[in-house]
Chain A
Amino acid sequence: MNRRRANKRAMAPDAAQPVMPLRWVDGARDVLPLAVGMMPYAAVVGVLMRDAGFEVEFAMLFSVLVFAGASQIAALDLMAAQAPVLVVLLTMLIVNSRFMLYSAAMWQLMADEPAHRRLAGSYLLADQAFVVAVGRKWTGVGSLWPYYLGAGVLPWTCWQLGTMVGALLGDVVPSWMPLGVALPLVMMSIAVNQARSRPALAAAVVAALVAVVARGLPAGGGLLAAIVVGMAAGLATEHWIAHRGRPAQSGAQSGAGA
Chain B
Amino acid sequence: MTTRWWIVVLVGGAGTLALRSSLWVLLPAARSLPRWLTQALSLLPAAALAALAAPALLAPGGNLDLFGPRAIAGALALAVAVKTRNVLLTLVTGFVATVALERFMA
Q: Which residues of A contact B (CB under 8 A)?
A: 4, 33-34, 37, 54-55, 58, 61-62, 65-68, 71, 75, 79, 85, 88-89, 92-93, 96-108, 110-111, 115, 118-119, 121-123, 125, 127, 130-131, 134-135, 176-178, 180-195, 199-201, 203-212, 215-216, 222-223, 226-227, 230-232, 234-235, 238, 255-258
Task: Give the residue of B1, B44, B77 whose beta carbon is less than 8 angstroms from that of A227.
Answer: B44
Could you list 23 examples of A-B contacts with CB < 8 Å? Answer: A75-B8, A88-B8, A92-B12, A93-B16, A97-B19, A105-B44, A122-B20, A122-B24, A181-B56, A185-B77, A185-B90, A185-B95, A189-B86, A191-B46, A192-B78, A193-B85, A193-B87, A200-B43, A207-B51, A215-B59, A230-B46, A230-B47, A234-B40
Contact residues of B between 8 and 51, Cβ < 8 Å to A: 8-17, 19-25, 27-28, 31, 33, 35-51
Task: Give the residue of A99, A131, A230 whose beta carbon is less than 8 angstroms from that of B19.
Answer: A99
| Pair B47/A85 contact, Cβ less than 8 Å | no
Given A222-B55, A226-B51 in contact, is the A199-B16 Cβ separation under 8 Å? no
- 6 closest A-B pairs (Cβ-Cβ)? A65-B13, A230-B47, A122-B21, A208-B54, A226-B51, A184-B56
In angstroms, Cα B98 to Cα A113, docked, is 44
In angstroms, Cα B98 to Cα A227, docked, is 27
Q: Closest A-chain residue to B86, C-beta based?
A: A189
Instruction: Please indicate the chain A residues that have their CB under 8 angstroms from the CB of B53 in the complex.
Output: 184-185, 187-188, 191, 208
Task: Give the residue of A212, A231, A258 whose beta carbon is less than 8 angstroms from that of B44.
Answer: A231
The interface residues of chain A, by DSSP majority, are classed as helix
**Does B105 lie at the interface of the complex (its beta carbon under 8 Å from any beta carbon of A)?**
no
| Pair A66/B13 contact, Cβ less than 8 Å | yes
Q: Closest B-chain residue to A78, C-beta based?
A: B8
| Pair B52/A92 contact, Cβ less than 8 Å | no
| Pair B25/A119 contact, Cβ less than 8 Å | yes
| Pair B43/A199 contact, Cβ less than 8 Å | yes
Instruction: Please indicate the chain B residues that have their CB under 8 angstroms from the CB of A134 in the complex.
Output: 42, 44-45
| Pair B46/A58 contact, Cβ less than 8 Å | no
Q: Closest A-chain residue to B57, C-beta based?
A: A184
| Pair A101/B44 contact, Cβ less than 8 Å | yes
Instruction: Please indicate the chain B residues that have their CB under 8 angstroms from the CB of A256 in the complex.
Output: 35-36, 39
